[in-house]
Amino acid sequence: MIERVLVAMDGSDLSERALRYALDGHPDAEITVLNVVGGASPMMGQAAGIALSDDDEGGVREAAEPVFERAREIAAEYDKTVETAVEAGRPARQIIDHSEGFDVVVLGTHSGSLADRLFVGNVAKTVFQRSPVPVTVVR
């Protein structure tokens, strides 16, 4: 029986679809939404503001809040609540590291532009190959 589900969300439509899948498929499970914010680097878009901030942890949390707000809205449609967690760094690595203690990881097939996918790599594929727990990839 699946009791704890980790859903990786990045604000994309596919990540929202992954959350809906988890809520539909595991209605009695505790669901945690994980958002991974790019590590602090002045060369990377969203992370630039965090890198220049005096409060990295607060900047990471602030960057994740719109994703969490949307996740809460979706969960409310199901009369559910979700836990939230935020990490900074490389998405695949952070999802894999965070997955211990969960019964399954649910994530969308991809996000971002083609250039983002080519530059950053395929997060879903890496998580699928290296996760210590089962992974459901939603498209």
Q: What is the mean pLDDT of the chain?
A: 85
User: What angle do the packed helices 91-98 and 123-130 form, to 10 degrees?
Assistant: 30
Q: pLDDT category, 139, cuts 50, 70, 90?
A: confident
Q: Which residues sit opposite 135 in a β-bridge? A: 105
Q: What is the pLDDT of residues 70-82, one digit of tens each?
A: 999 999 999 999 9
Please give the full DSSP string across 112-136, using - where no structure is assigned: S-HHHHHHH--HHHHHHHH-SS-EE
Surface-to-core class of residue 37, CB atoms within 10 Å of its CB (0-12 exposed, 13-18 middle, 19+ buried) = buried
Q: Which of 18, 44, 45 is nearest to 33 (CA)?
A: 18
SS3 15: helix
What is the model's pTM? 0.83
Parent domain of 129: 4-137
Domains held by the chain: number: 1
